[in-house]
Amino acid sequence: MDAGARYRLTFNGIWAFAVVTSPTVRHAFRIGVDYVSLGYSFATWRFAEQDTAAVVTIDYSATPAEVRTFLIERDLACLAVIDREIFGTLMKPDSVELSCPEPAYADRFPDLIGLMPTFDAPQTRILLSEPALDVPLPQGSLQLAELARQQAAQASASKCAEFCWRTGWTPTRTRSPPRST
């Protein structure tokens, strides 16, 4: 948690600008999840809207078990920092489920995220109510958000192209042969 608490939104460049200029919390989560590869998370993020709420699912199954709890706590703390940087306060989620065991310091979570999460859940999930999704962001601008989204898309494509070039990976192959040097 302490590592995530040292996080700053501006560490993520155009991704951060796209999030902070989003007109609503809903838009910020869509942009944030769509371009999360530009950030520092090692998880797979999904944002799914339901009838009266949205669920952010964060899948850490591809991360080594030895660091999984650290990454879950770090990412959760990063989200809390983002909230506080954008709104000046925490936007408390409706519920949080963490796919890790309850730590000895679990009493710190309510100060961090505004509630006690459920531990040992099958997956890490954050539930946000419909009213919370429609809260406007203080610096929100649909025009700036779209411009930032376009730049994030270009950066993401460039990052993917560089990865493919360096590793020899292509979207049609799941494993790349060793590169000759």
**What pLDDT is recorded for position 175?**
41
Cβ–Cβ under 8 Å, residues 97 and 121: yes
Rounded to two decimals, what is the model's pTM? 0.79
> Taking the chain, what is the end-to-end CA distance rounded to the nearest angstrom?
41
What 8-state DSSP symbol labels residue 1? -
How far is 2 from 144, CA to CA, in rounded Å?
32
CA angle 133, 135, 141 (to 5 degrees): 105
Q: Which residue has the tokens 């000046």?
A: 88
**What pLDDT is recorded for position 148?**
83
Q: Which residue has the tokens 């890790």?
A: 100
Q: Which residue has the tokens 């869509």?
A: 30
E strands along 78-130, which residues? 95-97, 124-129
Cβ–Cβ under 8 Å, residues 14 and 84: no
Question: Would you give per-residue pLDDT tens digits along the chain (181 residues)?
Answer: 666 666 666 666 788 888 889 999 999 999 888 888 887 788 999 999 988 899 999 999 999 999 999 999 999 998 888 888 888 888 889 999 999 999 999 999 999 999 999 999 999 999 999 999 999 998 888 888 888 888 888 887 776 555 555 656 555 444 444 444 4
